[in-house]
């Protein structure tokens, strides 16, 4: 697998004014992004050890140089089923709050700088993604959905029955 | 962290140690010790606390410590006899200092203790206790000063620097009159006093101030009347630009006329100076007394000289000595020069050092550099790294298996060596992490003291094996169980003095707290000589709670174990101390969660003994690696009783799919690990592991295969994920993959509630 992490500048006219550097990656034909500062490293897929009775988007735990961290399947989080992970799949290792976690995605695409002003608030999306998307960025022809990682890891966007009940009442 | 905060942190850490020492020494004295070292050590401890507190501006602490120190000084100086000393008060004061320290540490307002201060100030004022005429020593401990001391008693470290500056000024202003700075005692003609002339050369290490010692404290330990002169040598003071104000550059020559023995003088410096920092020279009476005027002249000369050269003094004092030779040889080898006129007596340790100079410098410095403070984080990292090596090594073992035989044989030898060395390395790192249980034990005397007061009981606490070492993580977990166990013994075990006398025992009860190593575990026991467990009451209570059937017969030992059952308390009055019936139950659960065990032995009327056994570390455990479907797990060897083939064990089915097996004539529940833990892959479940639960019940666990037995490194799952039901932690196996470490009890709870997938299946309307 080859990663081409070229840098595209969104606007060279104002490079420094409040730009966000975003790592983008793909799940299926959809593009997601997170701030580069949250990414600790990117590694190829590695078998995980399943955890008993964990939420569906928790793929299990793996050993990253002696640290045990949980891997979350982003595909499951956005309601597209389970990733059939192969050697070409990628785990994005992220720092989120005080924890280290892995995010299973299909591939990493790019690192881009976008001005903060180009980030649009997320419209009301389909139910499964509720709360996962922090904002949207238009990049060439792609729409990059910026992820709220804490939400991805917390409940993967799949609402628990209790949460549903709470919302319904 | 900014350097000051870091220093402050270190200070509080030291305070804890010092408080522990203070308490232990006072305790020993209270119990009748007459060892002067106990007094000195206690004084030293409170003095160091005061010094550090001053440096960090903890005024309340300084004020209290100052008064406390002053009253302890009465003991040290013999003004108050040991047998008259109010040690109970001192112990309460040491508790108060502990409170002040923790208040300072947490930046909380400190509770003023005027009662204790007032009581402390009475120490030494008792009629006849102090000869009124005795003037206070030059500086360190004047008569007790009242509370507003902080302002008057400027922070010690700063004061020391002030002194230094004063000295420097004195030097520049009037080099001939440096001595005036110390003018408590005008120099007296040496010959007017009985005794011998002694010359003390004091050359402190440059870290003197950082050890929170002031020169005046050093001098204060000598009888003021005996000091003839003190001369400061500022020859070591570097250029002002390069001066580090926290270094001490002063050297002193003290001339004394005294009846004290050399050993006595040595012992007075016990806690201020290292033995290599001073030299004592006795000028023989014959030499000194005969030319009395010469001696006086000598002293005058000494006082006037800024750089008091020993050779000069010797030359003046001993007219018989060929002065020019002496002057030349003296700086290099005082011993040799002194031979003709003076007997040079060095401190014992210095003597030893002199015999084997240079190459044994380390031994001579022992007092100042016995230990290094290391951040626990670093040691943890080291331990993690050792864990990594253990894992890599088991990975290697696995790789090597697939090699052709001849290559394998050679490699295997190397790996065997590696594994031995790894084990050794691990032991050493564990040893670094190990700490004596003293850290926890020394909190107990205070607890006992306070409880004894609350409960109106007389108790003597005996500590044994405080130096038994155990991993730092275990130490932290020990405090709670021990506190509970001691409370239990104090409240339920020991009787009141009246009851004890009625039972023919001494009115004072004894609690023994003993730590020892046994079979790779640390075993701690709490033994009291009280009334023992009231079995009838305990059993009646258990019956009334339905824990024991009305006609169920229990052996006496079984009744005793009921003390660990939840919600049982036999105390007649529910007190603040204990008696809500949660204590021992919680203790048991905590101890077991650490992989430990607790048991009780009781003899009615004679007492009761709780025994606590814990693993020496939580970082590594011996585990059995098992496979179930495609997944592997580790089960702690400590939980496994035996393993067997399914075929040899008859299984019976109860309703609701619950399976049981007959094992050693008992009906034992059987759980299939794959089903409980949701293992993937197909399973055959041919092997049954009989495991023990915390309650001592047995349970069968069906698995596919036993892969092997090995040491595994415990890795937290909570750190980056959260609690995993059924597992206590995880580990990394030889192939780099993660395996869960099973927790039998948690697994059984999971089996009881969640063999079906959790709540996500719920169908909801809307």
> pLDDT tens for residues A36-73?
999 999 999 988 999 988 888 999 999 888 789 999 99
pLDDT value of position A125: 56
pLDDT higher than threshold 80 for residue B333: no
Name, in order, each residue with C-beta under 8 angstroms of B551's C-beta and a sequence gap of 6 or more: none
Longest dimension (CA), chain B: 115
Torsion of CA A147, A153, A157, A160, to 10 degrees: -160
Best of A40, A45, A49 to substitute, by most chain B Cβ atoms within 10 angstroms, is A49
CATH of domain B3-152: 1.20.120.160
Q: Max Cα separation, chain A? A: 53
Neighbour count for residue B140 (Cβ, 10 Å): 19
The percent of residues above 90 in pLDDT, for chain B, comes to: 4
The residue among B139, B259, B158 whose CA lies nearest residue B209 is B158
Determine how β-strand B666-672 pairs with β-strand B698-703.
parallel
Q: Do A56 and B760 touch (CB under 8 A)?
A: yes
Residue A95 binned pLDDT confidence (cut-offs 50, 70, 90): very high
Location of structure tokens 């201020």: B272
Level-2 CATH architecture, domain B376-435: Orthogonal Bundle (1.10)
A1 occurs within a structural domain: no
Averaging pLDDT over each range in B208-217, B371-380, B529-538, which range is the top one? B529-538
Mean pLDDT of all residues belonging to chain B:
73
Question: In a 3-state reduction of DSSP, which class is residue B149?
Answer: helix
Q: Is the pLDDT of residue B168 over 60?
A: no
CA distance A48 to chain B (A): 7
d(CA A92, CA B506): 71
Interface mutation vs chain B, best among A56, A60, A63, A67, most B CBs within 10 Å: A63
Average model confidence (pLDDT) for chain A?
Answer: 79
* pLDDT at residue B161, as a whole number: 43
| Half-sphere exposure for B165 (CA within 13 Å, toward CB) | 9
Residues of B in contact with A49 (CB under 8 A): 631, 730, 737-740
Distance from the Cα of residue A107 to its chain's centroid: 11
Q: Please state which of the ranges B193-202, B316-325, B549-558, B671-680 shows the lowest mean pLDDT.
A: B316-325
Q: Mutating which of B679, B737, B753 best tests the A interface, going by the most A Cβ atoms within 10 A?
A: B737
List, as one string, the DSSP characters of B277-331.
GEEEEEEPHHHHHTTHHHHHHHHHHHHH-SS--HHHHHHHH-TTS-HHHHHHHTT
pLDDT of residue B38: 85
Q: Cα distance from B393 to chain A (closest Cα, Å)?
A: 14
- CA-nearest residue of chain A to B747? A52
| Lowest pLDDT segment from A105-109, B348-352, B615-619, B665-669 | B348-352
Tell whether B720 is within 8 A of chain A (Cβ): yes
For residues B182 and B170, what is the distance between their CA atoms, to the nearest angstrom?
Answer: 11
Judge whether residue B487 has pLDDT over 80. Answer: yes
Task: Provide the residue range defining the domain that includes A59.
Answer: 7-168
CA-to-CA separations, B257 to A51, B8, B178, B283, B578, in angstroms, rounded: 81, 42, 20, 10, 61
What is the spatial distance between Cα B123 and Cα B732, in angstroms, rounded to a whole number? Answer: 63
Q: How far is B679 from chain A (nearest CA, A)?
A: 8
Interface touch A68/B725, C-beta < 8 Å: no
Average pLDDT in the B330-350 region? 39
CA B663 remoteness from chain centre: 48
Residue A146 is part of a domain; what is its CATH number? 2.40.50.180
Radius of gyration of chain B (CA): 35
Chosen from A43, A46, A52 to mutate, greatest number of chain B CBs within 10 A: A52
Q: What is the DSSP letter of B490?
A: I
Q: List chain B domain ranges.
A: 3-152, 157-364, 376-435, 437-615, 620-761
Could B678 and A68 be called an inter-chain contact, meaning their C-beta atoms sit closer than 8 Å? no
pLDDT of res. B334: 39
Tell me, yes or no, whether A36 lies in a domain: yes
Calculate the CA dihedral of residues B302, B308, B312, B316 and round it to 10 degrees. 10
| Spatial separation of the C-alpha atoms in residues B373 and B181, rounded to whole Å | 38
> For residue B680, what is the nearest residue in chain A, using CA coordinates?
A50
CA–centroid distance for B569 within its chain:
33
Nearest-CA distance A80 → chain B (Å): 17
> Left, alpha or beta for B478 (phi > 0: left; psi -120 to 50: alpha)?
alpha
Rounded distance between C-alpha atoms, residue B539 and residue B560, angstroms: 9
Give ∠ CA A82-A83-A84 in degrees, rounded to 5.
Answer: 115
Number of CB atoms found within 10 A of residue B135's CB = 12
Give the range among A5-19, B229-243, B344-358 with minimum mean pLDDT: B344-358
Q: Does B49 score more than 50 pLDDT?
A: yes
Chain B CB contacts of A53 under 8 Å are 678, 725, 750, 754, 757-758
Residues of A in CB contact (< 8 Å) with B are 47-56, 60-63, 65-70, 99-101, 158, 160-162, 164-165, 168
Q: Residue B449 and residue B466: Cα distance in Å, rounded?
A: 19
Q: How close, in Å, is residue B717 to chain A by CA atoms?
A: 7
- Three state DSSP letters for B623-646: EEEEEECCEEEEEEHHHEEEEEEH
Mean pLDDT calculated for residue range B629-655? 85
Under DSSP, is residue A150 helix (H, G, I), strand (E, B) or coil?
helix
- Chain B's closest residue to A154, CA to CA, is B721
Q: Do A49 and B737 count as a contact with CB atoms less than 8 A apart?
A: yes
Is B384 or B359 the better-scoring residue by pLDDT? B384
Please tell me the predicted confidence (pLDDT) of residue B567. 63
**Residue A126: which pLDDT band, with cuts at 50, 70 and 90?**
low
The nearest CA of chain A is from the CA of B400 a distance in Å of 22
Residue B155: what pLDDT? 40
As a whole number of angstroms, the distance between CA B565 and CA B588 comes to 9
Residue B677 has a CB neighbour count (10 Å cut-off) of 27
- Give CA angle at B392 (B387, B396), nearest 5°: 150
Residue B566: its pLDDT value, please? 64
Q: How many domains does chain A have?
A: 1
**Domain presence at residue A54:** yes
Contact map slice: B 658-677 vs A, CB within 8 A: 676-677
Q: Taking 90 as the threshold, does the pLDDT of residue B740 lie above it? A: yes
Residue with the bigger pLDDT between B521 and B363: it is B521
Per-residue model confidence as pLDDT tens digits over B94-105: 888 888 888 888
Chain A residue with Cα closest to B754: A53
First CA to last CA distance, chain A: 49
Domain annotation covers residue A156: yes
Closest alpha carbon within chain B to A162: B759
CATH 1.10.10.10 fits B620-761, yes or no: no
Task: Kindly tell me if the per-residue pLDDT of B695 is higher than 70.
Answer: no
In this predicted structure, which of A90-99, B47-56, B273-282, B570-579 has the lowest mean pLDDT?
Answer: B570-579
Q: With 90 as the cut, is the pLDDT of residue B141 above it?
A: no
Lowest mean pLDDT among A70-79, B182-191, B547-556: B182-191
Distance from CA of A107 to the nearest CA of B (A): 23
More confident residue, B700 or A155: B700
Which three-class secondary structure state does DSSP give residue A95? strand
Q: How far apart are CA B78 and CA B81, in angstroms?
A: 6
Of B676, B738, B760, nearest to A63 by CB-CB distance is: B738
Answer with the residue of higher pLDDT: B733 or A166: B733
Instruction: Give the burial class of B266: count Cβ atoms within 10 A of its Cβ; 0-12 exposed, 13-18 middle, 19 or more buried.
Output: buried
pLDDT digits (tens, 9 = 90+) for B534-569: 888 888 878 877 777 777 777 887 788 788 876 665
- For B437-615, CATH number? 3.30.565.10
**B405-431: per-residue pLDDT in tens?**
888 888 888 888 888 888 788 778 877
Give how far Cα B570 sits from Cα of B232, B491, B566, Å: 70, 11, 12
């Amino acid at each position: 697998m080859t990663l081409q992490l070229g840098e595209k500048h969104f606007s060279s006219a104002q490079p420094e004014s409040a730009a966000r550097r975003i790592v983008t990656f793909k799940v299926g034909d959809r593009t997601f992004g997170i701030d580069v500062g949250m990414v600790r490293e990117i590694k190829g897929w590695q078998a995980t050890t399943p955890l008993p009775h964990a939420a569906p988007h928790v793929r299990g735990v793996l050993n990253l140089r002696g640290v045990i961290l949980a891997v979350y399947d982003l595909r499951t989080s956005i309601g597209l089923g389970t990733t059939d992970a192969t050697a070409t799949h990628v785990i994005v290792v992220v720092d989120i709050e005080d924890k280290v976690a892995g995010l299973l995605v299909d591939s990493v695409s790019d690192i881009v700088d976008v001005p903060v002003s180009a980030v649009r608030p997320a419209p009301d999306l389909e139910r499964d993604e509720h709360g996962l998307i922090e904002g949207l960025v238009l990049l060439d022809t792609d729409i990059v959905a910026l992820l709220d990682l804490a939400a991805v890891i917390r409940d993967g966007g799949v609402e628990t029955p209790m949460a549903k009940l709470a919302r319904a009442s | 962290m900014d350097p000051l905060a870091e220093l402050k942190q270190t200070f509080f850490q030291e305070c804890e140690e010092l408080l522990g020492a203070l308490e232990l020494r006072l305790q020993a004295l209270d119990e009748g010790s007459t060892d002067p070292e106990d007094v000195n050590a206690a004084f030293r401890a409170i003095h160091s606390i005061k010094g550090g507190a001053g440096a960090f501006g903890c005024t309340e602490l300084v004020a209290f410590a100052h008064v406390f120190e002053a009253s302890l000084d009465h003991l040290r100086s013999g003004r108050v006899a040991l047998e008259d000393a109010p040690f109970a008060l001192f112990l309460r004061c040491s508790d108060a200092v502990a409170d002040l320290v923790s208040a300072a540490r947490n930046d909380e307002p400190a509770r003023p203790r005027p009662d204790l201060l007032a009581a402390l100030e009475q120490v030494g004022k008792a009629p006849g206790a102090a000869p009124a005429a005795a003037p206070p020593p030059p500086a360190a401990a004047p008569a007790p000063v009242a509370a507003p001391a902080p302002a008057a008693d400027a922070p010690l470290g700063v004061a020391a620097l002030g002194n230094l500056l004063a000295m420097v000024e004195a030097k520049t202003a009037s080099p001939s009159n440096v001595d005036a700075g110390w003018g408590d005692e005008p120099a007296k003609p040496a010959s007017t006093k009985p005794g011998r002339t002694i010359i003390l050369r004091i050359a402190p290490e440059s870290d003197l101030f950082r050890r929170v010692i002031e020169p005046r404290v050093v001098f204060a330990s000598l009888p003021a009347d005996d000091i003839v002169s003190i001369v400061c040598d500022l020859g070591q003071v570097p250029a002002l630009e390069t001066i580090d104000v926290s270094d001490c550059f002063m050297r002193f020559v003290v001339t004394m006329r005294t009846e004290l023995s050399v050993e006595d003088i040595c012992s007075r410096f016990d806690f201020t100076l290292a033995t290599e920092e001073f030299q004592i020279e006795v000028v023989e009476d014959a030499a000194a007394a005969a030319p009395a005027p010469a001696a006086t002249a000598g002293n005058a000369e000494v006082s006037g000289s800024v750089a008091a050269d020993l050779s000069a003094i010797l030359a003046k004092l001993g007219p018989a000595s060929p002065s020019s030779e002496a002057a030349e040889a003296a700086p290099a080898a005082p011993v040799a020069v002194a031979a003709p006129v003076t007997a040079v007596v060095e401190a014992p340790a210095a003597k030893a050092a002199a015999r084997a100079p240079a190459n044994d410098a380390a031994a001579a410095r022992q007092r100042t550099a016995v230990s290094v403070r290391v951040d626990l984080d670093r040691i943890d990292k080291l331990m993690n790294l050792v864990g990594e090596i253990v894992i890599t090594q088991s990975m290697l073992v696995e790789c090597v298996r697939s090699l052709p035989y001849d290559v394998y044989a050679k490699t295997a030898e190397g790996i065997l060596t590696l594994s031995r060395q790894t084990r050794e390395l691990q032991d050493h790192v564990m040893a670094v992490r190990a700490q004596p249980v003293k850290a926890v034990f020394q909190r107990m005397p205070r607890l006992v003291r306070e409880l004894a007061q609350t409960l109106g009981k007389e108790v003597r606490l005996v500590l044994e094996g405080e130096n038994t070492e155990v991993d730092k993580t275990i130490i932290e977990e020990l405090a709670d169980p021990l506190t509970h166990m001691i409370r239990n013994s104090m409240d339920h075990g020991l009787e009141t003095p009246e009851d004890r006398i009625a039972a023919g025992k001494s009115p004072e009860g004894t609690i023994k707290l003993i730590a020892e190593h046994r079979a790779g575990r640390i075993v701690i026991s709490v033994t009291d000589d009280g009334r023992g467990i009231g079995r009838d009451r305990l059993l009646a209570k258990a019956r009334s709670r339905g824990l024991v059937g009305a006609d169920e017969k229990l052996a006496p030992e079984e009744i005793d174990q009921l003390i660990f059952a939840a919600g049982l308390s036999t105390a007649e009055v529910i007190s603040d101390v204990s008696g809500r019936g949660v204590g021992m139950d919680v203790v048991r659960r905590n101890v077991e969660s650490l992989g430990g065990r607790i048991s009780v032995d009781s003899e009615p009327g004679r007492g009761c003994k709780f025994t606590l056994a814990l693993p020496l570390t939580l970082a590594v455990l011996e585990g059995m690696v098992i496979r179930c479907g495609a997944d592997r797990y580790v089960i702690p060897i400590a939980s496994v009783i035996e393993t067997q083939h399914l075929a040899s064990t008859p299984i019976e089915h109860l309703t609701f799919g619950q399976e049981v097996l007959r094992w050693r004539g008992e009906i034992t529940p059987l759980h299939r690990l794959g089903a409980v833990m949701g293992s993937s892959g197909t399973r055959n479940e041919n092997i049954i592991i009989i495991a023990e639960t915390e309650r001592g019940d047995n349970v069968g666990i069906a698995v596919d295969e036993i892969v092997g037995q090995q040491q595994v490194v415990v890795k937290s799952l909570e750190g980056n994920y959260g609690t995993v039901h059924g597992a206590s932690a995880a580990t990394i196996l030889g192939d780099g993959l993660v395996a869960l470490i099973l927790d039998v009890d948690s697994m059984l709870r999971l089996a009881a509630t969640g063999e079906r997938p959790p709540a996500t299946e719920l169908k909801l309307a809307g």
